[in-house]
Amino acid sequence: AAALNDRGLCRYLRVEFAAALQDYTEAIECQPGFEVPYYNRGLVLYRLGCFDEAMKDFRKVLELNPQFEDAALSLKQAILDKEEKQKRGY
């Protein structure tokens, strides 16, 4: 799971979002209690504007590790951005 997460991070940094999402999802399937791939997948989904899916992943991180501050901040930002998107009508 850690290796898949690391490969996903490399792909994320190369802006290969579809491949990164696949790696993070495989890491989650290998080790469902490992919160980091959920967080990383949430970041990619957020960047793609998939706010509902990103929020679901950030909430899962906080369920697994309530002390994961970056996930809490990312969740708040995704909620705000989703609301802003809805206000603008798209």
What's the pLDDT tens digit per position in 4-63? 999 999 999 999 999 999 999 999 999 999 999 999 999 999 999 999 999 999 999 999
φ, ψ (nearest 5 deg) of residue 64: -75, -35
Fold of 1-89: 1.25.40
Kindly provide the b/e burial profile for residues 9-29, where b requires at least 16 CB atoms within 10 angstroms of the residue's own CB. bebbeeeebebbbbbbebbbe
Q: 90 pLDDT exceeds 80?
A: no
> Letter for the amino acid at 65?
N
Q: In terms of Cα–Cα distance, which of 57, 55, 62, 64 is closest to 25?
A: 57
pTM listed for this prediction: 0.95
The domain segmentation of the chain, as residue ranges, is 1-89
